[in-house]
Amino acid sequence: MDTKSKHLLIELFDCHKTTLQDQTKIETLLIQAAKAANVTIVQSVFHKYFPQGVTGVVIIEESHLSIHTWPEYGYASVDFYTCGKGIPEKALDIIQSGLIAGRTEVICVDRGQSLTDTAMSLRYHRHAMKN
């Protein structure tokens, strides 16, 4: 099956803790990232937790971009799932620099494969990136 879907799982470590708590900044950052990836934004919804943390999703015509932050650990997880002509890799630099991440790990999954094929591709697609 050829779905032309791609799913980036982005792990961001040693991030700026104040930024991870700033709902407005996080939402602006993800919208900029979606635009850089050349996808069509439909809507965004973000929620700030107390005492800390932000969760949000940018719904795009091609699927979604979501984030969950843990300021107490300096950590954020981002999922960017696209189908069609979007290029989610173009969002990486914006997200990394915006969160001031010290270390980033990315898994890229081509969706629409059998579980056996997907498991094998996951095994070989994890990349650590130093900023």
Q: What is the DSSP letter of 14?
A: S
Contact 8, 79 (CB under 8 A): yes
The reply to whether 7 belongs to the active site is no
Per annotation, catalytic residue among 68, 108, 121, 125: 68
Of 16, 83, 121, 125, catalytic: 83
Question: Is 121 known to be catalytic?
Answer: no
φ and ψ at 33, to 5 degrees? -65, -40
Q: Which helix (H) or strand (E) holds 97?
A: helix 92-99
Identify the active-site residue in 5, 7, 63, 66.
63
68 catalytic? Reply is: yes
For residue 29 the two structure tokens come to 């950052």
The whole-angstrom separation of Cα 62 and Cα 101 is 26
Pair of tokens at residue 28: 């602006």
Enzyme catalytic residues: 63, 68, 83
